[in-house]
């Protein structure tokens, strides 16, 4: 596998593209005839969401939210705040939340419950990466790109300290890099 600096490629751009197209086709089939709103979680999901909606062959509206659970720390505080809320009306809409990665699940469980308060018809979840072994709360995505067990991932929207989002593949930070203590212990 290709290595760039301290990064090891684990999902190629081609593999990601193929899976995103499949997810788009599945979502198109499942949401046919429904009034749909796709909500991306900033910043990590913006690349995945942009590619995904191009493969959903239905009328839809898009919006974004931004949540914070880390503050200035590298570990989740457990307290989640919305720093950018939805601007569209979600009443009676079928909402699809798009996220880059589900790890502990705290943030997505919170967001899903908050969006239900908007009198939505339904709220579902689509994530690019699912790390089930790190889950702390009961939440499952209806649409999953890839399940990956270990390692801190960057690229295709995923970042470490606002770096690496622009990489076209998904990379694992090398153990040498992680050993230096640069990797957050919780995402």
Q: CA dihedral defined by 41, 45, 51, 55, rounded to 10 degrees?
A: -50
Residue 89 CA to residue 36 CA, distance in Å, equals 11
Tokens representing 58 are 């239905």
Residue 64 CA to residue 87 CA, distance in Å, equals 8
Closest residue by Cα to residue 50 from 122, 178, 157, 150:
157
**Which of the following is catalytic: 51, 100, 103, 130?**
103
Closest residue by Cα to residue 187 from 126, 101, 125:
101
Residue 35 gets the label, from left (phi > 0), alpha (psi -120 to 50) or beta, of beta
- The secondary element (H helix, E strand) that includes residue 17 is helix 13-31
Residue 172, strand partner residues: 8, 153
Task: For residue 103, indicate whether it is catalytic.
Answer: yes
Residue 68 CA to residue 84 CA, distance in Å, equals 10
Active-site residues: which are they?
A: 103
């Amino acid at each position: 596998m290709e290595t760039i600096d301290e990064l090891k490629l684990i999902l190629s751009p081609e593999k990601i593209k193929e899976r995103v197209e499949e997810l788009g086709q599945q979502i198109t089939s499942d949401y046919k005839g429904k009034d749909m709103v796709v909500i991306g979680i900033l910043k990590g999901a913006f690349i995945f969401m942009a590619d995904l909606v191009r493969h959903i062959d239905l009328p839809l509206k898009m919006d974004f939210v931004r949540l914070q659970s880390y503050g200035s720390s590298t570990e989740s505080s457990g307290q989640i705040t919305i720093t950018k809320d939805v601007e569209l009306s979600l009443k009676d809409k079928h909402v699809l939340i798009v996220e880059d990665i589900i790890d502990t699940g705290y943030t997505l469980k919170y967001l899903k419950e908050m969006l239900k308060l908007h009198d939505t018809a339904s709220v579902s979840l689509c994530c690019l990466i699912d790390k089930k072994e790190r889950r702390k709360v009961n939440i499952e995505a209806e649409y999953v790109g890839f399940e990956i067990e270990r390692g801190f991932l960057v690229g295709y929207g995923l970042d470490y300290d606002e770096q690496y989002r622009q990489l076209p593949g998904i990379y694992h930070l090398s153990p040498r890099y992680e050993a230096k203590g640069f990797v957050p212990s919780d995402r």
